[in-house]
Amino acid sequence: MTGSFEAPADACQVGGLPERPTPDQIDAFFRNDTFAYRQADCRIVEAWKGHGVAEMDIDPAKHLNAKGRVMGGAVFTLADYAFAAASLCGASSSVSLSSTIEFMKGTEGNKLVATCDVDRTGRKVGFYTIDVTDDMGEHIARVVTTCYHPA
């Protein structure tokens, strides 16, 4: 691979979010996410320390695989975005160490919702569970993530 990626100057965030950020603080923090926010059209709709909810309207031009089903990577991206909101509220930084996803069923819906809640967090390591449902009330996937808080 040649060349290198350089993020725009305004894309770098220093620190995390307050423990209970306002909707404006959430939007300002995540609007520079070049993948989940800009490409996949995910949005954070709720966030506080240890909790985050992200939504994504399913766009057939962006989120479907060759078989016409929602791509597993789109489901994981949404879950990871909810995790980011939950783990960065009240923390200076958070880095995912491990994530496991279990797909429970495909969706026939038009929107996915990922809800992340902390299971346990210590000084440096946190454990989170993210459940992904659709707008028809179906449980689509579960993600378990372990993270490291370096600062």
- 121's enclosing H/E stretch is strand 111-121
Give the start-end residues of each E strand in 35-94.
Answer: 42-48, 51-57
3-state secondary structure of 107: coil
* Global pTM value: 0.88
Q: Compute the chain's Rg from CA coordinates.
A: 15
Sign of CA dihedral 133, 134, 140, 141: negative
Question: Residue 148, Cβ neighbours under 10 Å: how many?
Answer: 14
**CA-closest candidate to residue 16, choices 43, 47, 40:** 47
Q: What is the pLDDT of residues 51-98, one digit of tens each?
A: 999 999 999 999 999 999 999 999 999 999 999 999 999 988 889 999
* Res 68: pLDDT: 94
- Residue 15 pLDDT grade (very low, low, confident, very high; cuts 50, 70, 90): low
Decide if 17 contacts 46 (C-beta within 8 A). Answer: no
Alpha carbon distance 52, 145 (integer Å): 13
